[in-house]
Structure 1
Amino acid sequence: MRYLLIFLSFLILSGCGTKRQNFEPISLLGEIDYDGNLNSFIADVTIDGSTLKSGQIITKSGLIDVKIPKKYTFLGHWEEKYLASSKCSNLIIIDKNSKVLYEKKFDFIVASASLRDDMLAVVLGNNKVLLIDTKSDKILYEKSGDKVYAHDSKLATPYFLNSLLIFPTLDGKLLIVDLKKNKLLKDIVIKSERFFSNVIYLNIFKDRMVAATKQRVVSINSNSIAFLDEEIKDVIILEDRVLVFTKDGRVVLADADLKVLKSEKFKFATFAATNYKDSIYIIERGGYLIVADLNLTKSHVYALPEKIESLVFVTKDKLFYKDSYLEFSKLGKRYK
């Protein structure tokens, strides 16, 4: 199962007879209910979307009326083409009417994939990357990486950037491929290890690329490269700043060069997060929604209807959990 990042599987920590301590807010602004229901429960989550048990999918834009076949997981989309993979190493591309446009069986399970025009970029679970022309089914580029023994379930997807393609690998590297020549231009090591070192975040804002493994964030532009070492759960890019969410319940605000500006601690919190308009929305597994301003100067805590004990997916403006959803835009109408 793939569990997400702006999405997440909340794990109950145990071991050595020690019970995990829970986040307990000092005060609550109020209790909130869900705003509506889905036609089915969430079955699977990836970094770019969620699959319901009915086969319907949720993208970063929200719930859409497209269904994928049974036993397939939604991976992402480009315009009106949708990617899905199965545990049997099959990958399909379907249109908005669920018609299969392309299908391919790989020699290993698909870890992540993305699409632009007729170009399909794939990262396999054995750390092999491929670029495929879906019209001719020709492999334009392929490279096998170092062997990895385990990887995190949160997996960044390949990123098409003009004439470049950036592959996030399972051993903590970024492979930059020239799409005109289908050749490797450069590989960048974020932090490469054999266990749980895959790239969990990759995004580009203006002239800057930000990527992360579970142990390190890197920020790259034409003039500099900067690193920030933390135990990382998630990353969000703001206009000229970066938010890093850590495993020990901190939200770290850094500038574009990863110089720490501020750090806010939510004791024992384990969360997923997104930014919507001028606020950060943090979903805490104990059953709370933390809303903070972009400068981390103030925050409010709401009680959710229940604890988060299974898959959750967060878009820019909604929280999806089980068969329900919560709209962030309606919070201000309830509590002012």
Structure 2
Amino acid sequence: MRYAKIVFSLLALLLVVSGCGTKRQYFEPEALAGKVSYDGSLPGSIVDAVRDGATLSNGQVITKKGLSNVLLPEGFVYLGEDQGRYVAASKCGALQIVDASKKVLFTKECSVSVASASLKANILALVLGSNELILIDINDGKEMMHLKQDNVYVLDSRIAAPYFLGDLIVFPTLDGKLVIVDAQSKKPIRDVVVSNEKFFGNIIYLQVLGDRLVAATKSKVVSISPKSISFLEKEVKDVIVLENRIFVFTKDGRVILADADLRVIKERKFPFATFAGTIYGDFIYMIEKGGYVIATDLDLVSTNVYKLPDEIESHIFTTGDALYYKDHFFKLNRKK
């Protein structure tokens, strides 16, 4: 009995020590430059967000242009847009393309949920939750390509969408690859493995600037040009590409400035900061989950921190000059 008591006491002590050792620490700015206030309310709360848009509880959509008048069908969320046509999907695999007048332009029932989608002219590019890559002609509903990739079981919720690049279509797969498809023949011509992690290894970022393609998983960034392929291994939270600069935001609160070939130029660390989103232009605004906006110049020299009205606990969406959270929005240049 005495032995059992000793073992129990040791286990209890280990739990206490372990609990203390894993206690979360929070970002605390040394000084505040001001406060950010809400500018107005939204007609509903944000229930889902992707990189290029967000869905409100009333079915309306926010895109990079701002709040749209389109109303998605009940149970559907926004995936993409092309010339006033909105791609939306349900959790059960139903997909629709609707216009601003709620006219249904195309429908499809998929066997599994749609992870991401992009539309250009009459071509719809889909990445299914089963890691299948599909091209569909929405004029006649026929599949022009259907590629099955390796099975995946656990995904990062940040899922990149296919990208139309001239005569190419770039598919970001759920197992960490870029599959480049010829738009004319509808056949894959090249694969680029960004990361081969079995869990949470999907492509979370995909962007093209000029002749350069930049993509990322949660652990690696790749920059591809006609002359070279470069990699940067970091615990990635987000990526921004501005001209010949690549900004990598990490899970441990660092902002890394690299050149186009991912050679690190400079980095700044914001201890215990957890980045929830970013806005960029002449400055970079990092939205910190504890309820702050961290503003820095493009050279990572000067920094100002502003207090948000709330901590970030759910979906947010950002445009060039605004941040949308819950059922409110505000402009980042409005302070008091």
The corresponding residue for 1:311 is 315
Q: Tell me how far apart the structure 2 counterparts of residues 156 and 276 of structure 1 sit (CA, whole Å).
A: 19
**How many angstroms apart in 2 are the aligned matches of 1:259 and 1:29?**
32
- Alpha-carbon offset, residue 205 of structure 1: 0.3
**Partners of 1:277 and 1:222 in 2: CA distance:** 27
The structural deviation recorded for 1:19 is 2.4
Q: Is the 8 A contact 1:127 1:144 kept in 2?
A: yes
1:1-336 → structure 2 map (5 Å cutoff): 17=19, 18-331=22-335, 334=336
With 59-68 and 216-225 compared, the bigger mean Cα shift is at 59-68
What TM-score comes out, normalization by structure 2 length?
A: 0.93
Q: Distance in 1 between matches of 2:281 and 2:287?
A: 16
CA–CA distance in 2 between the matches of 1:311 and 1:267? 23
In structure 1, how many angstroms separate the alpha carbons of the residues matched to 2:271 and 2:49? Answer: 27
Q: Which amino acid aligns with 1:215?
A: S
Moved over 4 A (4+): none
Distance, in Å, in 1 between the alignment partners of 2:310 and 2:112 is 38
1:4-38 deviation per Cα after TM superposition (whole angstroms, max 9, x unaligned): xxxxxxxxxxxx53221110000001122111111
C-alpha displacement of 1:311: 1.2
**Which structure ranks higher in relative contact order (CA pairs < 8 Å, sequence separation ≥ 6)?**
1
TM-superposed CA distance for 1:157, in Å, is 0.2
Question: Could you say which residue in structure 1 is the equivalent of 2:10?
Answer: none
Offset of residue 277 of structure 1: 2.8
Identity score, percent:
52
**Structure 2: 5+ residue stretches without partners:** 1-17
Letter matched to residue 43 of structure 2: N
Q: Offset of 1:151 from its aligned partner?
A: 0.8
Contact 1:274 1:316 in 2 (8 A): no
Partner secondary structure for residue 334 of structure 2: helix
Structure 1 distance, partners of 2:281, 2:111, is 43
CA distance in 1, matches of 2:280, 2:214: 19
Aligned-residue CA RMSD in angstroms?
1.2
User: In 2, are the aligned partners of 1:35 and 1:325 still within 8 Å (CA)?
Assistant: yes
Deviation at 1:286, TM superposition (A): 0.4
Whole-angstrom CA distance in 1 between matches of 2:197 and 2:311: 34
Give the residue type in structure 2 aligned to 1:261: I
- Structure 2 Cα separation of the partners of residues 236 and 24 of structure 1: 24
Q: Which structure has the larger Rg over C-alpha atoms?
A: 2
AA aligned to 2:104 is: V
Query: 5+ unaligned residues in a row in structure 1: which ranges?
Result: 1-15
User: How many angstroms does 1:219 deviate by?
Assistant: 0.2
CA contact (8 A) 1:35 1:326 kept: yes
Could you say what secondary structure the match of 1:252 adopts?
strand
C-alpha offsets along residues 254-289 of structure 1, whole Å, 9 cap, x if unaligned? 000000001100100011343433100110000101
Q: Which amino acid aligns with 2:148?
A: S
Report which stretch shifted further, 35-44 or 165-174.
35-44
Shift of 1:204: 0.3
Given the superposition, is the C-alpha separation of residues 50 and 198 from structure 1 closer, same or farther in structure 2, using an over 3 Å criterion? same
Q: Please state how far the C-alpha of 1:237 moved relative to its aligned partner.
A: 0.3
AA of the residue aligned to 1:114:
S
Task: Return the alpha-carbon distance in structure 1 between the equivalents of residues 170 and 333 of structure 2.
Answer: 34
Give the letter for the 2:39 counterpart.
Answer: D
Q: What per-residue deviation string (whole Å, max 9, x for no partner) do you get for residues 96-152 of structure 1?
A: 111110000011110000000010000000100000001111111110000111110
Contact 1:274 1:280 in 2 (8 A): yes
